[in-house]
Amino acid sequence: MLERIKASIPALPPAEQRVARLLMADPRGFATLPVSELAERSHVSKPTVVRFCRSIGYDGLADFKLKLAGSVNEGVPFVHRAVDDDDKAGDLVVKLVDNAVATLLRYRNAAAPQAVERAIAALAEAGRRGRRIDFYGVGNSGIVAQDAQHKFFRLGVRATAVSDGHVQVMSATMLGPGDCAVIISNSGRSRDLLDVARIARRKGAAVVAITASGSPLAREAQTGAHHVLLAADHPEDAARYSPMVSRLLHLLIIDILTTGVALRLGSAQLRPVLQEIKKNLRLLRYGAEGGADGDSASSSSTP
């Protein structure tokens, strides 16, 4: 909601822009103050405050303040920023889905295509030359690293996921020119992962960092010509809430990289391999053609 209002400010009349700037400076205070005080602080008339609310698509001040309060609440600490203690199941569905969708759309609008292109090029070149592609992450980011390894090894590249701190240091030490280290971190402040980035840089490997812009890891990923920062910014406070939206965002970025690398490596060459993988996996499912034991006749007659 605040992002949309911020984007609409240049199109507003000057008086309404003053109301918008007051809102952006203190959203929570704006939601609680009476119209008279909002007008006084914005140096406008009370009708101008109401016109501002209508200009950005709301029925009036009361409707706007109700929506604003729901948008800027602090949620339940250590659970989720978008929910309240008394939310019902239906509320949880709506709030969590809306929160996730808003974050993904925000990334779509803010993503740097040039950085994504450079990351895909580095990964595809490493895969094409048979070099190592190592994914590093700890905690929740370690789970994302495992998902990345699962996706990439199907492309026929040397992909490994490493989540143990000591093994990460050993793995990074064995990297070399042409290899690629993909470092995934929500906060960008994990010491182990910063060590990995520095070691990989010294060994001449390319570094792709999926992390928050402005973090120590982001700065480390911007120090070399072969290093790439894929900024994954979101409103989730890692110190206050369980990482949920951030993990979805990281998984999405991995999907983008996987798809880009697959296209670079050549779908004509990969398609037969992926088709055979799917065929062999179907043999492991009961009720699928071929059956779990490969006996198509018995599986087709089994209810």
Say what the pLDDT of residue 162 is: 96
- Assess whether 122 and 171 both reside in one domain: yes
Task: Report if residue 103 sits inside a domain.
Answer: no
The pLDDT, as a whole number, for residue 291 is 47
Domain check: are 272 and 260 in the same one? Answer: no
- Residue 197, in any domain of the structure: yes
In this prediction the pTM is 0.69
C-alpha 32/C-alpha 57 separation (Å) is: 20
* Whether residues 235 and 117 fall in one domain: yes
Query: Do 179 and 218 have their domain in common?
Result: yes
Does 80 fall in a domain? no
| Same-domain check for residues 132 and 204 | yes
Establish if 82 belongs to a structural domain. Answer: no
One domain for residues 217 and 231:
yes
- Which domain range does residue 186 map to? 112-265
- 20 and 155 part of one domain: no
Q: What is the mean pLDDT of each run of 10 residues along the chain (303 residues)?
A: 81 91 84 88 92 87 78 56 74 80 85 94 94 95 95 91 95 96 93 94 95 90 85 72 81 96 80 78 70 43 39
Q: Are residues 24 and 125 in the same domain?
A: no
88: in domain? no
Query: What pLDDT score does 300 carry?
Result: 39
User: Do 215 and 149 lie in a common domain?
Assistant: yes
HEC-encoded secondary structure of the chain: CHHHHHHHHHHCCHHHHHHHHHHHHCHHHHHHCCHHHHHHHHCCCHHHHHHHHHHCCCCCHHHHHHHHHHHHCCCECCCECCCCCCCCHHHHHHHHHHHHHHHHHHHHHHCCHHHHHHHHHHHHHHHHCCCEEEEECCCHHHHHHHHHHHHHHCCCCEEEEECCHHHHHHHHHCCCCCCEEEEECCCCCCHHHHHHHHHHHHCCCEEEEEECCCCHHHHHHCCCCCCEEEECCCCCCCCCCCCCHHHHHHHHHHHHHHHHHHHHHCHHHHHHHHHHHHHHHHCCCCCCCCCCCCCHHHHHHCC
The three-point CA angle 92-94-99 to 5° equals: 95
Tokens linked to 16: 């309404």
Q: Does residue 141 lie within any of the structural domains?
A: yes
The CATH number of whichever domain residue 148 belongs to comes to 3.40.50.10490
Q: Are residues 116 and 183 in the same domain?
A: yes
- 151 inside domain: yes
Mark whether 177 and 167 lie in a shared domain.
yes
Number of domains in the chain: 3
Assess contact for 181 and 198: CB atoms under 8 A: no
Q: Do residues 28 and 170 both lie within one domain?
A: no
Predicted pLDDT of residue 73: 59
The CATH code of the domain that includes 13 is 1.10.10.10
Residue 104 in any domain: the answer is: no
Angle at 221 between CA 231 and CA 157, to 5 degrees: 85
